[in-house]
Amino acid sequence: MPQEIKELIFSLDKEYKLAADTTTVSLSVIVGVMGQSPDLDVDLDEKELLTHHKGSITALPITATVGAILQIIGNVVDVASDSNKIEVTLQLEGGVQSLTRTFSVNVEQDGETVDVVFIIRFI
Amino acid sequence: MYLLFVLFNPLPVMRTISTFLLLLATAYASAQTEKTPEGVDLLKAPASPSAQLLNIAPNAIERPTDLSSFWISVNNVTSNFTKFPTDYSFDISPVSLFHSTGVTLKDLNTKNLSSVLWQTLIVSTGIRSVEDTLTGQSFYKAAIGLKISFIRPKWSGATESKYQAISVLQEEVTEKIKIDVNEILKDSLYQRKLTEREAVKNKKSAEYKRIDKELDDLFLILLANKRVERMADRSESYTRLKELARDFKIERVGFYLDMAGGFSGSFPTNKLGYSLADRSGVWLTGGYDGGNNHLSVLGLARYLYQPETIYADPAHTIPTKRISTLDMGTRLLYSGTDDKFNFSLESIYRSVLNKNIIGPSWRLIFSAEYDTGFNTKLTLNLGRDFDGSLIKGGNLIAGLTFIAGFGNKRNL
């Protein structure tokens, strides 16, 4: 029985409340396990912040305004020879509360692709 | 008649004889090369320094790759923490075990020293119960060691090309997902659910959480549908990407410098407060790996304290207690473009540091081999042996050898 498609998609669409005194938030997207291959685009509305980024994202500063939409879109391919696990952790800090979500899957076929789609709406 | 033909047909007999002669020649050639069994390879760093110091078999070493498997391993060996393990050794890679730093494929080709150190660090530790031959009482020995690379070779051209091919296909996938996401965000049903969520003022209310979850579920369903469509439209690209990723292997070429080391201690009274230094060792491996059809250089140095056997003392004339040894070796290898011509130059130096009974000794061997074609190979071994040089002041270990095989063409 083939692996369910939904398991191969890491997605969320969340509202994120900005703090009153600051508009800069910090974005991290940590890709595991060691040796997997990501390709990530980060856009804030029409502005491209990162294009086809091939690593994890660590504390990327984002100047956010209320109503702006942050999109983190891409994929991670299972390349690591010693593990079939793909894990992605999204961290957003600097707002009223921190947002942390971890997605994880053990792909059943070597070389499988996992889609990554995170939408953050600043309020 | 047929039976007679089969019985007396000379062809199979000829084949058998030629095969036998070929095997004989191969065995003879192997015997010639095996004159140097304790070559530079003997000085190579062990797979696990602590297991080596405790004499634990390499296949008994646990290598957990994540915290849960590490926990299971410890749990098994201690029988749910009810007993102390008798023989237990494990090697862990901290970067793999605590994969919070997000080391991706691209990072495995970095030249940054701190990243290379962190990625290549392996901590090795072990414990072993041994019996005192005099008193018959058992006591524990423990060891700790590490392996690390100071200089890591870069990826080979072939590996770079494969990585680039994967990257291009991944970028295509990302672009397609972005198009799909834009369509989903404009979907009327999705828009309605978004408006519904925005309308809830209390962001901590149960209603908000319910709608928020419904939105995530809807998003996932729509994305899954789009993925199915996308994979049907672009099945060739996905298949190619999967093949490339599945077959991806990292090959490295260039300079490298690795170090391994460790020490062990014994606890004669089985109490932590009283311990004795047992054995220790440091292995340094460096060189240049040129890949196929190139020159490769290897340099090794090994320091051992109270080794199991002293390399410079094959006759075991001195006890190993409180003995330190230093052994070094180099090897230069060259293989020609079509593997017809190969040569190697190997040197070994061995010494006992704190005893004057055994002096240092060295060996130098030059080997060359030329495949003259059709089962014939010309080989040359020249050198100076440890004992030969000490006694006679240098001699030839072997001369020129010509190997010929019979029958069909075989690689000798």
Task: Determine contact, residues B25/B39, Cβ cutoff 8 Å.
Answer: no
Task: Determine contact, residues A14/B232, Cβ cutoff 8 Å.
Answer: no
Please report which helix (H) or strand (E) contains residue B218, including its range: helix B206-233
Low-confidence ranges of chain B (pLDDT < 50): 1-14, 16-37, 390-398
pLDDT of res. B24: 41
Chain A residue whose CA is closest to B178? A73
pLDDT of res. B170: 97
CATH assignment of A10-122, among 3.10.20, 2.60.40, 3.30.1490, 2.40.50:
2.60.40
Helix-helix angle B157-185:B235-246, to 10 degrees: 140
Distance in Å from the first CA to the final CA of chain A:
42
Q: How far is A120 from chain B (nearest CA, A)?
A: 12
pLDDT of res. B394: 37
Q: Give the one of A13, A29, A79 whose C-beta lies nearest to B105's C-beta.
A: A79
Token pair 């294009």 is at which residue?
A51
Question: Residues of B numbered 30-69 whose beta carbons fall under 8 angstroms of chain A's beta carbons: which are they?
Answer: 65-66
Query: Does B217 reach chain A within 8 Å, measured CB to CB?
Result: no
pLDDT of res. B408: 56
Residues in A closer than 8 angstroms to B219, CB to CB, are 11-13, 117, 119
Q: What percent of chain A shows pLDDT beyond 70?
A: 99
Question: Residues of B numbered 219-248 whose beta carbons fall under 8 angstroms of chain A's beta carbons: which are they?
Answer: 219-221, 223-224, 227-228, 238, 241-248
pLDDT of res. B180: 96
In Å, how far are B158, B330, B332, B342 from B292, measured between CA atoms?
A: 12, 19, 14, 12
Count of helix runs (H) and strand runs (E) in chain A: 0, 9
Query: Does A67 reach chain B within 8 Å, measured CB to CB?
Result: no
pLDDT of res. B293: 60
Residues in A closer than 8 angstroms to B174, CB to CB, are 39-41, 52, 73-75
Residues in A closer than 8 angstroms to B105, CB to CB, are 35-37, 54, 79-80
Q: How far is A13 from chain B (nearest CA, A)?
A: 6
Residues in B closer than 8 angstroms to A38, CB to CB, are 104
C-alpha–C-alpha distance, residues A82 and A84, integer Å:
7
Q: How far is B309 from chain A (nearest CA, A)?
A: 36
Q: Give the one of B103, B174, B242 whose C-beta lies nearest to A75's C-beta.
A: B174
CA dihedral of B315, B316, B317, B319, whole degrees rounded to 10? 170
Residues in B closer than 8 angstroms to A58, CB to CB, are 102
pLDDT of res. B22: 42
pLDDT of res. A89: 95
pLDDT of res. B395: 39
Task: Determine contact, residues B381/B366, Cβ cutoff 8 Å.
Answer: yes
Chain A residue whose CA is closest to B215? A13
pLDDT at A97 over 50: yes
Query: Does B72 reach chain A within 8 Å, measured CB to CB?
Result: no
pLDDT of res. B335: 79
Q: What percent of chain A shows pLDDT beyond 90?
A: 85
Contact B245 A38 (CB under 8 A): no
Q: Does the predicted interface ipTM exceed a cut of 0.90?
A: yes
Contact A111 B174 (CB under 8 A): no
pLDDT of res. B280: 95
Residues in B closer than 8 angstroms to A109, CB to CB, are 242, 246
- The letter for the amino acid at B110 is T
Residues in B closer than 8 angstroms to A5, CB to CB, are 224, 227-228
Q: In what order do the strands lie in the sheet with A85-93?
A: A57-63, A24-32, A85-93, A99-106
Query: Does A108 reach chain B within 8 Å, measured CB to CB?
Result: no
Contact A39 B171 (CB under 8 A): yes
pLDDT tens track for A11-65: 999 999 999 877 899 999 999 888 899 999 999 999 999 999 999 999 999 999 9
C-alpha–C-alpha distance, residues B407 and B170, integer Å:
52
Task: Determine contact, residues B44/B300, Cβ cutoff 8 Å.
Answer: yes
Query: Does B170 reach chain A within 8 Å, measured CB to CB?
Result: yes
At B215, list the tokens: 């939105």
At B86, list the tokens: 């008798």
Contact A110 B246 (CB under 8 A): yes
Return the CA Rg of chain B.
31
pLDDT of res. B39: 76
C-alpha–C-alpha distance, residues A94 and A99, integer Å:
9
Residues in B closer than 8 angstroms to A9, CB to CB, are 220, 223-224, 227
